[in-house]
Amino acid sequence: MTGRIEDYALLGDLQTGALVGVDGSVDWLCLPRFDSPSCFAALLGGPSAGRWLLAPAEGGRCTRRAYRGDSLVLESEWETASGAVRIIDFLPPRGTEPDLVRIVEGVRGRVDLHCDLVVRFDYGHVVPWVRRTEGRWGAVAGPDAMWLDTPVDLTGEDRRTTASFPVTAGERVPFVLTWSPSYRPAPAPVDPERALADTLRFWSDWMRDCTYRGRYGEAVRRSLVTLKALTYAPTGGIAAALTTSLPEQIGGTRNWDYRYCWLRDATLTLQSLVGGGFVREAAAWRDWLLRAVAGDPADLQIMYSLTGRRRLPEYELPWLEGYEGSRPVRIGNAAAQQFQLDVYGEVLDGLHTARGAGLAADDDAWDLQRVLTEHLENVWRLPDSSLWEVRGPERHFVHSKVMAWVGFDRMVRTAERSGLPAPLERWRAARDEIHAEVCARGFDADRGTFTQFYGSRGLDAALLLLPRLGFLPPGDPRVAGTVAAVRRELVEGGFVLRYRVDADPLSASGTVDGLPGEEAAFLACSFWLADALALTGRGDEARELFDRLLALRNDVGLLSEEWDPVAGRQLGNTPQAFSHIGLVNTALALDAMTR
């Protein structure tokens, strides 16, 4: 039985990550990187799909847990009848190969511990051959090998490795699990105490760059650490989430793979990183963006792999039962092939943001921006699938058109400010045409609100971004009407839904590609509402909503993609970059409002 999504804490080494439950079980880990096949997939298939349980023999949830300072070193403590024990979990910053280190520390009295290690490569599908080589535990299957170093006696039992041992006050018992390619020699053992010191030093050194000094310091710092943890250090790309197929609805089929880089995250991510003082990370993300989108602008995708790879074929894993029975489990993401008009505006806005933040100008970047803008001139009139990746008929989504306007607007402003060569009159004309069309065809004058797409009566939470993007000033009555309509029609349990499919007669039977309509609240949308409230002069309401959003974080400060206001639980892939980006940017906006 897996835990609730909010029961998990994140470990990371800037190339992959693990999820550790409150019961001491590592239920998710892909090696050697975020989008590799898992070796622990209990999150999606139960213990038989792979896990590493290390906890008091009597079981149960830990009494308390927390990260050590602004790091990803997790400390979980159990109080038992016979004593207290602490388990220190972390992934050291990557050396040659990835390591997962777990140190059991006796705090008080004597506690009996139990270890249950179940390694299953290829998403729980492959049972490795386990053997001892020169005193080390090893597991090998196909291209993968894992090595476990510990002073504890291990026993093989029913295709799993177990151990039982006592720990007394002051005693420390280490476990180090290392992955390597099976065709290479076994890696050298890692000194766990030195690895711990190195890991704490890494995070301490990194956090020195943080310039945030606002009222939401703890929440912002933890979100920035989380974004850093989702960064694939070799390329600078940032994964949307650590996981795949955690459902938007329990028992439902909206289960997607989020271990990739979405272009629309670019601008918001850059704003978060720069706002927090992390210019180097912002530059690395900008450089990843330039590499990923290079080539024919007609081939621009909405997402790419961590390395910029374009092909992300989607397939299902029928042997995994899914999180709480939510099938199917999907690998890859077919939405990569959708036409989503807004990404052109996102990319151009992101590069505009990078220039404004003082990142070094790049002539090649401007050439790419011009090519993308010329292509945008040819495609902005086309319908698309929207930022919500609707797997149904393409529409003229209002947010997509607004982002096309953003693309032209940012290019005009950059050229005007920098003197870079540009066909300014043509771009200004396109900008004005889009603006006029959106105001004429995307606005419902009877209700005083913009709509989800031309001719629709439905709403879209992305409309909350209108004042933030500069499409209309915050004081415009059409902005106020749209914010009021979203609050009236899309707020559920105090938080914002992306849209209501069944609210619009133009939608197909209340479903999108046969999937049920929206039920849970998409957390980023609620942060957008807080932004819109702040911009339209409702600062107290914005802060009140932001405080409620902060209360949705789990005990170690993490947010997933969605919140179920009825069940009172997190849903969707976790930890979700978009949610933490929203947290940081809203905190910055609220701080700016009080200066």
Structural domain boundaries enclosing 522: 209-593
Least confident of 24-38, 67-81, 333-347: 333-347
Are 119 and 198 found together in one domain?
yes
Query: Total domain count for the chain?
Result: 2
In the predicted structure, residue 305 carries a pLDDT above the cut 60: yes
Q: Are 467 and 536 in contact (CB under 8 A)?
A: yes
Write down the pLDDT at residue 355: 84
Least confident of 3-7, 500-504, 516-520: 516-520
Are 442 and 528 found together in one domain?
yes
Are 181 and 263 found together in one domain?
no
Are 288 and 170 found together in one domain?
no
Write down the pLDDT at residue 498: 95
Q: Which amino acid is at 446?
A: D
**For the chain, percent of residues with pLDDT exceeding 70:** 96
pLDDT (mean) for 19-46: 98
Q: Are 5 and 574 in contact (CB under 8 A)?
A: yes
pLDDT (mean) for 189-204: 98
CB atoms within 10 A of CB 440: 10
Q: Choose the final residue of a domain: 206, 236, 260.
A: 206
Share the mean pLDDT of the chain.
93
Helices (H) and strands (E) in the chain — how many of each? 15, 28
CB atoms within 10 A of CB 377: 16
pLDDT (mean) for 507-525: 59
Write down the pLDDT at residue 433: 98
pLDDT (mean) for 341-355: 91
Write down the pLDDT at residue 295: 85
d(CA 384, CA 400): 8
Note the pLDDT tens digit of each residue in 377-392.
999 999 999 999 887 8
Are 299 and 445 found together in one domain?
yes
Find the largest Cα–Cα distance for the chain. 78
Q: Are 146 and 69 in contact (CB under 8 A)?
A: no
Are 217 and 189 found together in one domain?
no
The pairs formed by 507-516 with CB atoms below 8 angstroms and a separation of 24 or more are 507/392, 507/458, 508/392, 508/393, 512/390, 512/391, 512/392, 513/390, 513/391, 513/392, 515/252, 515/253, 515/254, 515/391, 516/249, 516/252, 516/254
Note the pLDDT tens digit of each residue in 244-288.
999 999 999 999 999 999 988 877 888 899 899 998 888 898 889
Least confident of 38-47, 156-165, 292-301, 421-430: 292-301
Write down the pLDDT at residue 502: 59
d(CA 250, CA 572): 9
Where does residue 241 fall: left (phi above 0), alpha (psi -120 to 50 degrees), or beta otherwise?
beta
CB atoms within 10 A of CB 309: 11
Strand partners, 570: 563
Radius of gyration of the chain (CA): 25
In the predicted structure, residue 519 carries a pLDDT above the cut 70: no
Are 184 and 324 found together in one domain?
no
Least confident of 107-121, 313-327, 342-356: 342-356
Are 394 and 532 found together in one domain?
yes
Q: What is the DSSP string of 280-340?
A: HHHHHHHHHHHHHH-S-GGG--SEE-TT-------EE-TT---GGG-PPPEES-GGGGS--
d(CA 441, CA 394): 16
The closest of 492, 493, 582 to 546, measured between CA atoms, is 582
Are 199 and 213 found together in one domain?
no
DSSP 8-class letter at 516: -
Write down the pLDDT at residue 264: 86
Better-predicted residue by pLDDT, 520 or 514: 520
Write down the pLDDT at residue 361: 67
Are 356 and 495 found together in one domain?
yes
Least confident of 272-276, 444-448, 512-516, 568-572: 512-516
Are 300 and 429 found together in one domain?
yes
Where does residue 463 fall: left (phi above 0), alpha (psi -120 to 50 degrees), or beta otherwise?
alpha
Q: Choose the final residue of a domain: 171, 206, 241.
A: 206
CATH number of the domain enclosing 88: 2.70.98
Write down the pLDDT at residue 362: 67
d(CA 567, CA 569): 6
Are 185 and 218 found together in one domain?
no
The closest of 102, 103, 97, 122 to 16, measured between CA atoms, is 97
Q: Which structure tokens are listed for 508?
A: 């197909």
Q: Choose the final residue of a domain: 175, 206, 237.
A: 206
Q: What is the pTM of this model?
A: 0.95
Q: Which structure tokens are listed for 294?
A: 């290079």
d(CA 188, CA 526): 48
d(CA 427, CA 432): 9
Q: What is the DSSP string of 369-418?
A: HHHHHHHHHHHTTS-B-TTTT-SS--B-BHHHHHHHHHHHHHHHHHHHHH
pLDDT (mean) for 69-74: 98
Write down the pLDDT at residue 1: 62
Band of residue 516 on the pLDDT scale cut at 50, 70, 90: very low
Angle at the Cα of 273 (from 271 to 275), degrees rounded to 5? 60
Write down the pLDDT at residue 374: 96
CATH number of the domain enclosing 417: 1.50.10.10
